[in-house]
């Protein structure tokens, strides 16, 4: 009885956490893809440890249902969905691992386990046979229950990866930035870019031009520029209109992003597309710094449904009553940057061409989880 | 919904014990040394939304398909409030039920929520007094009404307030004001006010309701002495979001005639500078803050929410758990399960709820459509607010109107701008509903005939007539004119733009036309004891009230503020009032205007009620009588004044028989002083009458 009681209370507890997560993400109290990703991962960790299942498919369904709920809280914040899919693929991987070792013919399967690409070969047929195996086989039950610590460990690793992601990207800073180079960055709200530049500044001397990104990020731009200047980097804040005229002198455009789509396109702060196209005209390389948690398996079929529309008051002063009544203002927070505009994506796993992103998507996510 | 499904799926299986104890850390509350309480006044104490509010409280009316109260709670959650007390008055049962079923009562809610019934209260002041009596307020709190929409990050406002409080205990209140041009759509036209602020500190030094005094405001010259830079501003949306100290409810209790938080409380506190309390303003320039206080602002705030001024509180945030709004280009919000005919047109700034069906050829522009509505063919809907389950038949036209839940609009009918069609009203075919009509089905006392002219042969409902005219009519016309906005703001234009003066030297050129001439009293006060100065001022205040024929309430208010400022006893208040009134009476007699009896009656009938707030128990009454007696000794015809005064006050039930008898039999007073005895010479006769009257009534 008591176990039932604690179970129910745990489930309640979890529900409470989920609800408050949903509320906070709606209120934008959890904001920014990193924070959302971290909070999602932590919530999933709790969810997995609070859920019971007899078969791994139950866990997967439950996590999917939960994922759908979390994702719908703010459908335009892709990081949340990405983490859910990562966890799902991790669960599937663990279950397949145990299944494979259980089934005994390790010789056939063992090479597959080590390679991440092998996971892709797991088609439905393969799954279903294994499923029926699992259901019929009484002995496999005990093994499956033991999966929990592995899954929890896996999510814990994911959280650690998230926490250290900026460090591993920043490590590449020195290789990317030359001495006395002029760098332009239009995404001052990116912590990744900030750490990237700060790390490079330890070894290199260069100039950074920070684009103001009116209206949404003006204050952040100034904070960002202050931090850079504090580290001894020569920093200039420029208005958005100046970008084209100054592009000729820029060595590289370094971009942070909110999400990377499966085709290599980006969702970066509004205005980024213009700057990237301007860089393309000048043949200036555009480099994107992004953690892999931002990589989404979504394709930009309907760009508008991916772009968050923000506070109108940032564009037009609310106190101006005569305009407020007559003008319809739209303030998109992000821009879709097509993959052609980007030359290189630096991730925590190394630098890739945008056209290779689909491959990373296949490595990290399962096809069956793409629609939650 | 999601986890429930999940829970069921898991629940069927064998239960395995768990090791890991889970604590809720996802929602880590920001460490605050002080818990913040919020008082939500769910009642508006107004009738502007009638007849809609006859059936639903204002805070539960849907704004963009979400009850207003949700927006308020969302704001409180954003502000980091940890304890919410909802004061319910009208429709308390509905509000309580709503809150109990809402997510705010769940353990995941960021604050604890409690409802308090205050059924007798008819104003903000009453509610505050009630709260004070219940002793629910322990620290500084946020006072809001249940109809605000706001996304101002509150930490800064709060920090500033707390800093001020720490420095000066008398900074009792911070008002949050949003800058907006005077003709801004989101401003409630009927309630604009002028704030006089200190430029440096944002201290509010004067508040004036424009309505009460349209053409001039009078400032105390003292203000100019104390503050070098002042700005006089009329460019605020005042949505009554206040951070108050626990002193505020206490002050309401002390000044029982304060009703309105601005008109009475702020104005009162600031004009009686003797209290020494200060009120500050926090001016918001970046975010959104507004209050739905009239139909005109309902319209404006809806538009603001739709055009995302209130981000992140927008329809696509899906504040209610079962909402599924998605944003589309052009500020169009649609829920799932909507059926739109191929040829219908949904224009920008539109919200459409789930389950709604829109047929061919219909055009919807800038409107809010609720859930499960049925909208026929070739209907034209423009800037209208259509709540849930409304049926609109073919070829109808609806412009800038509110159609409440369950209403039916017949084919080819025309609802003109400004009309309100309340719950479940049925309008027949080919009917024109004028812009100034409010139709309802709510049973109102006597049997009402269905007005076939208004709703048609097969219609159902009658025209609602507003009982309390005047004030509300202004607003009412505003929604009528909401598209054109030709509201009479011309008279305010002079004060539209905010201006500031730098003027210590100009101070004394300003006209001194205040009720309290503090300047003159100051010079005397230095030489007098507090008591004398109180008597003098109080007496002057009553005399002025009589001379200028003030409202009784105002006179009482002045007296009570004076009393508190000088820390005077009621005895002194009485003495001062008596001196003033009897002085007036004897003046009337001496100038041969009236005979003694008529003079006493005319004065006391008008001003006698003042004593109601000064004389409480029997001891008070005896003291009061002695005071009258003593005062009369100084007057011509003192004895007859005394007699008539006692008679008159007895008739008004201010004096009780027992007290009068006790007073009379208080020997020392009678023998001590010949004058006193002399002035009382007529009283025994009256007493005789009194006792016989009593005996008669007893024998009956």
- B484 touches A: beta carbon within 8 Å: no
pLDDT tens figures, A250-278: 999 999 999 999 999 999 999 999 999 99
The whole-number pLDDT of residue A108 equals: 43
Nearest to A58 among B9, B309, B328 (CB): B9
Sign for the pseudo-dihedral over CA of B336, B340, B346, B351: negative
Q: Is B174 helix (H, G, I), strand (E, B) or coil?
A: strand
CB A313 to CB B10 under 8 A?
Answer: no
Q: Which residues contact B446 (CB under 8 A, 6 or more apart)?
A: none
Contact of B166 with chain A, judged by CB distance below 8 Å, is answered with: no
Residue pair B463/B442 in contact (Cβ under 8 Å)? The answer is no
Q: Are A286 and A342 in contact (CB under 8 A)?
A: yes
Using CA atoms, how far apart are residues B487 and B296, in angstroms rounded to an integer? 11
The closest CB to that of A62, out of B10, B78, B286, belongs to: B10
Mind listing the pLDDT tens digit for each residue in B54-109?
888 888 999 999 999 999 999 999 888 999 999 988 888 999 999 999 989 888 88
CA-to-CA distance for B421 and B438, rounded, in angstroms? 6
| pLDDT, position B345 | 94
Beta-sheet pairing, B141-145 with B229-233: unpaired
Least confident span in B52-61, B456-465, B525-534, B620-629? B525-534
Which of residues B149 and A53 earns the better pLDDT score?
Answer: B149
- Among A32-36, A167-171, B436-440, whose mean pLDDT is lowest? B436-440
Most confidently modeled range among A152-156, B625-629, B684-688: A152-156
Residues from chain B contacting residue A12 (CB–CB below 8 Å): 107
Q: What is the DSSP string of B224-268?
A: HHH-SEEEEE--EEEEEEEEE-THHHHHHHHSTT--SIIIIIIHH
All domains of chain A, ordered by start, with CATH?
Answer: 2-165 (1.20.120), 171-369 (3.40.50.10470)
* Sequence-ordered list of residues with C-beta below 8 angstroms from that of B579, at least 6 positions apart, any chain: B535, B539, B631
Determine contact, residues B656/B624, Cβ cutoff 8 Å. Answer: no
Q: Which of B56, B53, B51, B48 is nearest to B438 (CA)?
A: B51
- Report in angstroms the alpha-carbon separations of A170 from A195, A338, B492: 6, 24, 60
Which strand (E) or helix (H) includes residue A354?
A: none
A141 contacts chain B (CB < 8 A): no
* Residue B668 in this model has a pLDDT that exceeds 60: no
| A4-43 residues touching B, CB cutoff 8 A | 4, 6-7, 10-21, 23-24, 26-29, 39, 42-43
Average pLDDT over residues B335-339: 93
Asked whether B242 and B136 are in contact (CB, 8 A), the reply is: no
- CB contact at 8 A, B290 and B150: yes
Q: Which residues in chain B are closer than 8 Å to A11, comparing Cβ atoms?
A: 3, 7, 10
What is the CB-side half-sphere exposure of residue A20 using CA atoms within 13 A? 22
Higher pLDDT among residues B183 and A186, named by residue: A186
Which of helix, strand or coil describes residue A111?
Answer: helix
What confidence category does residue B543 fall into, taking pLDDT thresholds of 50, 70 and 90?
Answer: confident
Query: What's the gap between Cα A159 and its chain centre?
Result: 12
Q: CB neighbours of A210 closer than 8 A, spacing ≥ 6?
A: A185, A188, A221, A224, A225, A228, A235, A236, A237, A238
The values of phi and psi at residue B73, to 5°, are: -65, -40
Q: What mean pLDDT do residues B439-452 have? A: 66
**Which one is predicted more confidently, B542 or B485?**
B542
Q: What is the distance, to the nearest Å, from the Cα of residue B585 to the centroid of all Cα atoms in its chain?
A: 38
Q: Do domains B34-295 and B331-441 have the same CATH topology?
A: no
- C-alpha to C-alpha distance for A45 and A150, rounded to whole angstroms: 11
Report strand pairing: A344-347 vs B37-41.
unpaired
Element (H, E) at A38: helix A33-50
Cα separation values, A63 from A67, A280, B337, Å: 6, 42, 25
Give yes or no for residue B513 having a pLDDT over 50. Answer: no
Comparing A116-130, A134-148, B527-541, the range with the smallest average pLDDT is A116-130
In CATH, the number for domain B34-295 is 3.90.550.10
What pLDDT score was predicted for residue B125?
A: 87
Which own/partner pairs from A7-15 qualify as long-range (CB within 8 Å, at least 24 positions apart)?
Answer: A7/A52, A7/B15, A7/B17, A7/B18, A10/A50, A10/B18, A10/B22, A11/A50, A11/B3, A11/B7, A11/B10, A12/B107, A13/A50, A13/B22, A13/B24, A14/A46, A14/A47, A14/A50, A14/A51, A14/B3, A14/B22, A15/B3, A15/B7, A15/B108
C-alpha to C-alpha distance for B511 and B517, rounded to whole angstroms: 11
pLDDT by residue (tens digit) across B555-606?
Answer: 888 887 777 777 777 788 888 888 888 888 887 887 777 777 788 888 888 7
- Mean of pLDDT values over A293-304: 92
Of residues A140 and B688, the one with the higher pLDDT is B688
Residue A358 pLDDT: 92
Residue B36 reports pLDDT greater than 60 = yes
The residue that leads in pLDDT, B219 or B672, is: B219
pLDDT confidence band for A117 (50 / 70 / 90): low
Q: Is B187 on the interface with A (CB under 8 A)?
A: yes
Task: Please give the pLDDT value at position A96.
Answer: 83
Q: Establish if A303 touches chain B: CB-CB under 8 angstroms.
A: no
Angle at the Cα of B13 (from B7 to B14), degrees rounded to 5? Answer: 120
Considering A120-134, B222-236, B315-329, the range whose residues carry the highest mean pLDDT is B315-329
Question: At B250, is the pLDDT very low, low, confident or very high (cuts 50, 70, 90)?
Answer: confident
pLDDT reported for residue B19: 34
Please state, as a whole number, how many other Cβ atoms lie within 10 Å of the Cβ of residue A149.
12
Which stretch, A256-265, B437-446, B536-545, B626-635, has highest mean pLDDT? A256-265
pLDDT above 50 for B376:
yes
Backbone φ and ψ of B291, nearest 5°: -135, 140
Task: Taking residues A90-118, report their average pLDDT.
Answer: 61
Q: Which conformational region is residue B17 in: left (phi greater than 0), alpha (psi within -120 to 50 degrees), or beta?
A: beta
- Provide the mean pLDDT of chain B: 78
Per-residue pLDDT tens over the stretch B386-405: 999 999 999 999 998 999 99
State the Cα angle at A201 between A197 and A204, rounded to 5°.
Answer: 120
Q: What are the residues facing B332 on neighbouring strands?
A: B328, B350
Fold of B331-441: UDP N-Acetylglucosamine Acyltransferase; domain 1 (2.160.10)
Q: Per the CB < 8 Å rule, is B110 touching A6? A: no
Q: How far apart are CA A366 and CA A355, in angstroms?
A: 19
CA distances from A66 to A370, B14, B687 (A): 14, 21, 86
**Number of continuous H segments (helices) and E segments (strands) in chain A:** 15, 10
Q: In what order do the strands lie in the sheet with B462-463?
A: B326-328, B332-334, B350-352, B368-369, B385-386, B402-403, B420-421, B438-440, B462-463
Contacts of A61 in chain B (CB under 8 A): 6, 9
B6: pLDDT strictly greater than 50: no
Residues within 8 A of B (CB atoms), A 266-295 only: none
Using CA coordinates, name the residue in chain A closest to B76. A27
Q: What is the pLDDT of residue A95?
A: 84
Is A202 exposed, middle or buried (CB count within 10 Å of its CB: 0-12, 13-18, 19+)? Answer: exposed
Residue pair A136/A55 in contact by the 8 Å Cβ criterion? no
Range B101-131 burial, b when 16+ CB lie within 10 A, else e? ebbbebebbbbebebbebeebebbbbbbbbb
Can you name the CATH fold of B519-699? 1.25.40
CA–CA separation, B243 vs B237, rounded Å? 16
Question: Which chain A residues are Cβ-neighbours of B178 within 8 angstroms?
Answer: 318-319
CA distances from B613 to A159, A294, B261, B610, B681 (A): 68, 70, 21, 6, 29
Closest CA to B585 of B596, B574, B573, B572: B596
Structure-model confidence comparison of residues B510 and A184, the more confident one: A184
Confidence of residue B505 (pLDDT cuts 50, 70, 90): very low
The shortest CB-CB distance from A14 to any of B15, B22, B106 is to: B22
- List for chain A the helix, strand, coil content (%; round to 5): 60, 10, 30
pLDDT value at residue A321:
80
CA-only gyration radius of chain B, Å: 31
Distance CA B461, CA B617 (A): 53
pLDDT value for B34: 66
Q: Chain B contact for A49, CB < 8 A?
A: yes
Provide the pLDDT for residue B477: 42
Bridge partner residues of A213 (DSSP): none
More confident residue, B13 or B385: B385
pLDDT tens per residue across span A177-212: 999 999 999 988 899 999 999 999 999 999 999 998
Q: Which residue has the higher pLDDT, B232 or B535?
A: B232
Which candidate, A42, A3, A11, places its Cα nearest to that of A25?
A: A42
pLDDT at B262 over 80: yes
DSSP state of B172: E
Q: B183 touching A, CB under 8 A? A: yes
DSSP type of residue B28: P
Hey, is B578 helix, strand or coil? helix
Query: What average pLDDT does range B534-542 have in this prediction?
Result: 80
DSSP B208: E
* pLDDT tens-digit readout, A50-92: 888 888 888 999 999 999 999 998 899 999 999 999 999 999 9
Is B485's pLDDT higher than 80? no
Cα Rg of chain A, angstroms: 23
Domain spans in chain B, listed from the N-terminal domain onward: 34-295, 331-441, 519-699
* Contact call for residues B593 and B647 (beta carbons, < 8 A): no
For residue A106, the model assigns a pLDDT of 42
């Amino acid at each position: 009885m008591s176990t039932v009681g604690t179970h129910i209370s745990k489930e309640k507890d979890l529900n409470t956490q989920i609800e408050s997560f949903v509320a906070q993400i709606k209120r934008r109290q959890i904001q920014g893809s990193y924070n959302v990703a971290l909070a999602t991962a932590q919530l999933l960790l709790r969810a997995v440890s609070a859920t019971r299942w007899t078969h791994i498919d139950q866990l997967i369904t439950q996590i999917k249902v939960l994922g759908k709920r979390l994702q719908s809280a703010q459908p335009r914040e892709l990081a949340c969905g990405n983490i859910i899919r990562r966890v799902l693929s991790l669960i599937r991987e663990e279950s397949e691992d145990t299944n494979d070792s259980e089934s005994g013919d390790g010789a056939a399967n063992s090479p597959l386990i080590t390679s991440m690409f092998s996971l892709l070969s797991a088609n439905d047929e393969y799954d279903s046979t294994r499923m029926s195996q699992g259901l019929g086989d009484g002995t496999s039950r005990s093994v499956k229950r033991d999966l929990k610590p592995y899954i929890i460990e896996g999510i814990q690793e994911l959280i650690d990866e998230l926490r250290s992601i900026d460090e591993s990207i920043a490590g590449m800073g020195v290789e990317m930035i030359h001495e006395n180079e002029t760098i332009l960055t239009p995404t001052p709200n990116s912590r990744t870019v900030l750490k990237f530049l700060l790390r490079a500044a330890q070894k290199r001397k260069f100039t950074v031009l920070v684009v103001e990104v009116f209206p949404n990020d003006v204050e952040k731009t100034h904070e960002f520029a202050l931090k850079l200047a504090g580290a001894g980097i020569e920093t200039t804040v420029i208005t958005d209109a100046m970008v084209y005229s100054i592009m000729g002198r820029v060595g590289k455009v370094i971009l942070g992003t909110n999400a990377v789509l499966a085709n290599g396109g980006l969702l970066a702060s509004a205005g980024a597309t213009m700057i990237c196209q301007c860089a393309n005209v000048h043949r200036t390389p555009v480099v994107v710094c992004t953690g892999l948690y931002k990589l989404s398996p979504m394709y930009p079929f309907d760009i508008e449904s991916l772009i968050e529309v923000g506070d109108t008051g940032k564009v037009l002063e609310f106190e101006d009553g005569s305009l407020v009544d007559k003008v319809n203002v739209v303030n998109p927070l992000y821009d879709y940057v097509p993959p052609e505009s980007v030359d290189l994506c630096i991730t925590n796993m190394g630098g890739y061409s945008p056209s290779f992103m689909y491959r990373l998507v296949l490595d990290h996510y399962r096809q069956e989880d793409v629609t939650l | 919904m999601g986890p429930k499904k999940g829970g069921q799926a898991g629940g069927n299986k064998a239960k395995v014990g768990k090791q890991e104890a889970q604590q809720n850390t996802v929602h880590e509350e920001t460490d605050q040394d002080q818990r913040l309480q919020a008082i939500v006044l769910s009642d508006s104490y107004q009738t502007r939304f009638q007849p809609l509010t006859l059936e639903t409280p204002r805070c539960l009316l849907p704004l963009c398909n979400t009850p207003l109260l949700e927006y308020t709670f969302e704001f409180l959650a954003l502000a980091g409030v940890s304890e919410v007390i909802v004061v319910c008055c009208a429709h308390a049962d509905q509000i309580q039920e709503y809150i109990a079923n809402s997510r705010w009562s769940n353990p995941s809610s960021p604050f604890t929520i409690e409802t308090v019934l205050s059924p007798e209260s008819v104003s903000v002041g009453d509610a505050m007094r009630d709260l004070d009596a219940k002793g629910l307020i322990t620290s500084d709190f946020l006072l809001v009404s249940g109809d605000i929409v706001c996304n101002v990050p509150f930490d800064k406002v709060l920090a500033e307030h707390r800093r001020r409080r720490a420095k000066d205990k008398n900074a009792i209140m911070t008002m949050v004001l949003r800058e907006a041009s005077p003709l801004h759509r989101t401003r409630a036209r009927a309630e604009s006010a002028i704030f006089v602020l200190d430029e440096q500190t944002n201290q509010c030094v004067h508040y004036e309701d424009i309505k009460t005094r349209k053409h001039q405001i009078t400032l105390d010259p003292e203000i100019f002495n104390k503050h070098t830079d002042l700005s006089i501003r009329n460019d605020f949306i005042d949505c009554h979001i206040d951070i108050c100290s626990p002193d505020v409810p206490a002050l309401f209790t002390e000044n029982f005639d304060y009703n309105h938080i601005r008109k009475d409380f702020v104005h009162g506190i600031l004009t009686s500078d003797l209290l020494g309390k200060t009120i500050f303003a926090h001016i918001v320039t970046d975010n959104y803050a507004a209050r739905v206080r009239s139909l005109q602002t309902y319209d404006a705030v809806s538009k603001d929410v739709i055009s995302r001024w209130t981000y992140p509180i927008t329809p696509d945030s899906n504040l209610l758990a079962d909402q599924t709004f998605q944003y589309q280009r052009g500020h169009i919000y649609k829920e799932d399960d909507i059926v739109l005919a191929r040829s219908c047109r949904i224009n920008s700034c539109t919200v459409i709820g789930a389950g709604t069906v829109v047929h061919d050829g219909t055009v919807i522009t800038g409107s809010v459509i609720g859930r499960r509505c049925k909208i026929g063919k070739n209907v034209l809907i423009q800037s209208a607010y259509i709540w849930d389950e409304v049926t609109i038949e073919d070829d109808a036209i609806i412009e800038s109107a509110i159609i409440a839940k369950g209403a039916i609009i017949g084919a080819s009918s025309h609802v003109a701008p400004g009309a309100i069609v309340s719950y479940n009203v049925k309008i027949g075919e080919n009917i024109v509903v004028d812009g100034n009509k409010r139709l309802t089905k709510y049973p109102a006392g006597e049997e009402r005939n269905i007005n076939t002219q208004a709703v048609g042969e097969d219609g159902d409902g009658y025209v609602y007539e507003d009982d309390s005219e005047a004030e509300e009519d202004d607003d009412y016309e505003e929604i009528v004119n909401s598209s054109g906005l030709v509201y009479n703001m011309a008279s305010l234009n002079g004060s539209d733009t905010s201006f500031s003066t730098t003027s210590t030297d100009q101070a004394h050129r300003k006209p001194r036309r205040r009720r309290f001439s503090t300047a003159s009293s100051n010079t005397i006060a230095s030489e007098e004891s507090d008591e004398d100065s109180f008597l003098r001022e109080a007496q002057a205040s009553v005399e002025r009230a009589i001379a200028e024929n003030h409202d009784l309430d105002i006179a009482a208010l002045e007296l009570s503020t004076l009393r508190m400022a000088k820390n005077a006893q009621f005895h002194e208040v009485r003495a001062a009032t008596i001196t003033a009134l009897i002085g007036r009476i004897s003046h009337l007699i001496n100038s041969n205007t009236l005979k003694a009896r008529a003079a006493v009656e005319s004065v006391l009938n008008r001003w006698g009620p003042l004593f109601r707030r000064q004389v409480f128990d029997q001891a008070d009454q005896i003291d009061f009588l002695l005071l009258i007696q003593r005062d009369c000794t100084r007057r011509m015809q003192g004895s007859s004044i005394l007699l008539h005064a006692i008679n008159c006050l007895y008739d008004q039930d201010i004096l009780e028989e027992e007290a009068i008898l006790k007073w009379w039999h208080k020997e020392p007073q009678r023998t001590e002083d010949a004058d006193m005895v002399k002035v009382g010479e007529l009283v025994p006769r009256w007493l005789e009458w009194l006792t016989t009257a009593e005996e008669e009534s007893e024998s009956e």
